[in-house]
Amino acid sequence: MVTRLRFEGSTGAELAGVFHPPVGAAKGSLLVVHCFTCSKDLHTMSRLARGLAANGFAVLRFDFTGLGESGGDFADTTLSTDVGDLGRALACLREHGPAPYGLVGHSMGGAAGLLAAVGLPALRSLAVLGAPCTTEHIRELLPAVEPVRDYGPGSAPPQVRIGERSFPISPAFMDDLARHEVERRVAELGRPLLVLHGLEDRVVPVEHGERLFAAASQPKAFVPLLGADHLLGDRRASAEAVAVLTDWFARTL
């Protein structure tokens, strides 16, 4: 039976999480991290969490500040606050799930996980899915989305439309992106890294996964997911990802 949790994030806002206990003897615990402007309840996250729990891992999925059921204002967040939220989420997972601990990050959640891992030695192994190898890619994506209103002195941050929703993107958010070097952090990781990437990903091209894999030291693995898009919309792609992740963490945690 899943448990709904609340814990304090890096900005002081209360974050929402869902804890999945393992089925059978626990093999360890995993933090599952969602993509940019997504939530813990996106089908990508819920399917991965349920599948990994069914295979013996305790799993925590959570919402970053200002998203999903978490408190706080998204306009006040940056990639740095996401990195801080990850540390708080891992602390929450350690209170509820058994060691050892690992992380599965999707898209920008994967990039945030790679950036955070240097300061989180409790993470024994990591896996990223459809993750960008550079924050510049995120910068390039944002101008392509539909602007809702202009930004001026004294006004609220400009909003961009992503899917069916609008989100405030502040200058501080854009400035913060430039402070992070994902590939350099991967080179410094010093822990096992699995890179999963859908070959039909049109949001983050597979070349990003190839570059992350090239930057990492051994032990590492790269698994292309045939017919998989960015969100693993096909249930078969989700099932394949769960199988690969289960084998990876059984070997590396």
Question: What contacts 251, CB < 8 A, 6 or more positions away?
Answer: none
* Domains observed in the chain: 3-134+181-252 (3.40.50.1820)
Tens of pLDDT, residue by residue over 153-194, are 555 666 666 555 667 777 788 888 889 999 999 999 999 999
What is the model's pLDDT at position 157? 62
Instruction: Single out the residue of 20, 97, 18, 22 nearest to residue 56, CA to CA.
Output: 22
What is the model's pLDDT at position 163? 54
Tens of pLDDT, residue by residue over 212-239, are 999 999 999 999 999 999 999 999 999 9
23 vs 208: CA distance, rounded Å: 34
Does the pTM of the predicted model rise above 0.75? Answer: yes
- Within a 13 Å sphere around the CA of 92, how many CA atoms are in the beta-carbon half? 28
Instruction: Find the length of the chain.
Output: 253
Average pLDDT over residues 202-217: 96
What is the model's pLDDT at position 78? 92
Q: Are the beta carbons of 213 and 196 closer than 8 angstroms?
A: no
What is the model's pLDDT at position 148? 47
Q: Are the beta carbons of 189 and 212 closer than 8 angstroms?
A: no
pLDDT at 146 over 60: no
pLDDT at 208 over 80: yes
- Strand order through the sheet with 165-168: 146-149, 159-162, 165-168
Give φ, ψ of 244 to 5 degrees.
Answer: -65, -45
Tens of pLDDT, residue by residue over 61-90, are 999 999 999 999 888 899 999 999 999 999
| Mean pLDDT value across the chain | 91
Average pLDDT over residues 94-121: 97
Beta bridge partners of 5: 17
What is the model's pLDDT at position 66? 92
For residues 147 and 142, which has the higher predicted lDDT (pLDDT)? Answer: 142
223 vs 213: CA distance, rounded Å: 10
Average pLDDT over residues 9-32: 97
Tens of pLDDT, residue by residue over 87-103, are 999 999 999 999 999 99
